[in-house]
Amino acid sequence: MNYSKWSLTLYCLVCFFFTYCAIPTFLNAKGIKYNERHFITAPITMGLDLKGGISITAELDINSYIKTALESKSTDIESFLYKNNISYSSIDIQDNVLQIVGVKLDERQLKELVSDLGKTTCTQCVTETTNGINITLTEKHNQIITESLIERIIEIIKKRVDESGTKEIEVIKFQENKILLNIPGIYDMQSIKRLLGTTAKLELKEVVLSDKQRTRSTSMEELPLLNNDIDQKKLYVYKRPIIDGSMIVDARALSNGGEYVVSFSLNSEGAQKFGTYTSKNVGKYIAIVIDNRIISAPSIKEPIRGGNGMISGSFSLESANELASMLRSGSLPVALTIVEEKVIGPTLGEASVHSGTVATIIALLCIVVFMILFYKIWGLFTNISLFLNLVIIIGIISLMNATLTLPGIAGIVLTLGMAVDANILIFEKIKEELRHIRTEEGSISKKHIVATIKKSYAQVMRTILDANITTIIAALALYIFGMSALRGFAVTITVGILSSVFTAVGTTYFCAAIWCSNLKAKRLEM
């Protein structure tokens, strides 16, 4: 059989690379110490069901979110009253009720106010009182925004804690206003609490330095200044931001002049707004606000049109990376209060790992014995590809930095059983072709054997690919629509199928090619 030496060399290099990636996992399993700098991968992280980890229950402050929504309304209301020259005493928010005190509106003005509010918010209830007007959000609207809020927070937490999407974390709604977070293989509770406890709400706001401008204080707020860009401890800023964190498309930690900063890039809308504002306000100060604290308040020296900015604030490398990660994942719309935290021990995990290991070994031994008994030398080729398949699966999972769960182990065991399917299809096709030749010509030569092997591999390849592609499609559906446990199963199945096709077809073909090139007997042991 002819084969390209270059293809064999490339095949061997791929196998060696994934074996190299799998070595840390095997060494770690045996408790052997090794130099981490010599490898590009770390040992596979076990899931919460195998190794334990962190479980955190956090409560959402829904009332503060509703209050923020009402505060946004108050700015719109103030603009409406100012535009229509309508006098009032004050605008207050108490118990999720926005109160416009000392205002009198006729029927036309009241309809205009309701219509104006309807442009920016959903359902609200506007009622007249003896003291003015009260505005509340309806229960139905509160329920809608609560459900939407929880969905947003779950997505943001997933991105913050598991930006690569491979660590099998579980974030689910728990009761009406709580979220349950399970993180496998991590025991640093403080770092996770920092990620959850920081909303990372970035806003760029206009600084108000003139005392005259502060007369309409309801549209402004006083925030603490953490930097010394201006010789003040607090600054007045307009509540409504120029741009906010929702317009950020990327953020990275950088070293700039000996200090760490966070650079950010804005989307087209943010870049346009930022460019327009800085063009019209050269010489003024702009406040960079994170979680209602002014990190810095630099002056605008020239128009900034590129959509890029930089945040400085005495960061360490770790804090700069944390802030950049949180800005990339998005700001939490409300603060989270941790109501329960616990570290789950690995006692159950050790038993699960042991059971999974035993099941894998038994499955391998059964397949090895079966293939040797039924297919002789070809069974040996299959067994070589089977062990190589297992090593490559471990190498790929390590390279992906994915987390291995109990369903993941089940996926690996199932994949090993499925891995021999391709070889059995090829071998049975070879048997069929050889029986046909023996019937027609009475004997089989080495030339017949070589031609049969080539023909069988070529004819069966499409069937193998079709069968495995359909399985991968099903696994992708599991990954997209399934929960974390099903995702772990889907990942290992997909990786296992790709590895199985690579080793089942490649390994046995090259073994057969090398064997046939040195074949002296004119018969095929099968």
Q: What is the pLDDT along the chain (526 residues), one digit of tens a residue?
A: 566 778 888 988 999 999 999 999 988 888 888 888 888 888 887 777 777 778 888 888 887 777 777 777 777 777 778 888 888 888 888 777 888 888 877 777 777 776 766 544 445 677 777 778 888 877 777 777 788 888 888 888 888 787 655 566 778 887 778 888 888 766 677 878 877 877 778 888 988 876 655 555 567 888 888 765 555 678 888 888 888 888 888 888 888 777 888 888 888 888 889 889 989 988 888 888 888 888 888 888 888 888 888 887 777 888 888 788 777 777 777 878 888 888 776 655 566 667 777 877 887 888 889 888 888 888 888 888 888 999 999 999 999 888 787 788 888 888 887 888 888 888 888 888 878 877 776 666 667 777 888 888 888 888 888 888 998 999 899 888 876 667 778 888 999 999 988 888 888 888 877 777 765 545 555 5
Q: Dihedral, CA atoms, 230, 233, 238, 239, nearest 10 degrees?
A: 140
Q: Is residue 223 part of a domain?
A: yes
- The DSSP H or E segment spanning 224 is strand 220-224
| H helix or E strand, kind and range, residue 344 | strand 336-344
In this structure, the answer to whether residues 386 and 510 fall within a common structural domain is: yes
Q: Are residues 69 and 208 in the same domain?
A: no
**CA nearest to 81, candidates 58, 110, 54, 59:** 110
Q: Is residue 277 located within the same domain as residue 290?
A: yes
Same domain, yes or no: 353 and 466: yes
Q: Which residue range(s) make up the domain with 419?
A: 5-52+347-518
Domain membership flag for residue 159:
no
Q: Are residues 365 and 503 in the same domain?
A: yes
Residue entry with tokens 């002296």: 520
Report the pLDDT value the prediction gives residue 458, as an integer from 0 to 100.
81
In a domain, 171, yes or no: no
* Structural domain contains residue 190: no
What does the alpha-carbon distance between residue 29 and residue 416 come to, in Å, rounded to a whole number? 20
Q: Do 390 and 329 share a structural domain?
A: no
Residue 466's CB is within 10 A of a number of other CB atoms, namely 10
> Is 147 domain-assigned?
no
Domain for residue 89, yes or no? yes
Same domain, 255 and 360: no
Domain boundary among 343, 366, 389: 343
| 351, 426: one domain | yes
Global pTM value:
0.55
Q: Are residues 246 and 374 in the same domain?
A: no
Out of 343, 377, 400, a domain closes at 343
Structure token pair of residue 509 = 């073909």
Q: How many structural domains does the chain have?
A: 3
* Residue whose structure tokens are 């591999």: 457
CATH of residue 338's domain is 3.30.1360.200
Beta carbons of 412 and 492 less than 8 angstroms apart? yes
Given 326, 343, 360, the domain boundary residue is: 343
User: Is 484 found in the same domain as 382?
Assistant: yes
What confidence score (pLDDT) does residue 248 get?
Answer: 84
Task: Give domain status of residue 236, yes or no.
Answer: yes
Q: Is residue 373 part of a domain?
A: yes
CATH value at residue 371: 1.20.1640.10
Question: For residues 255 and 248, is the Cβ–Cβ distance under 8 A?
Answer: no
Clarify whether residues 263 and 130 are in a common domain: no
> Both 323 and 384 in a single domain?
no
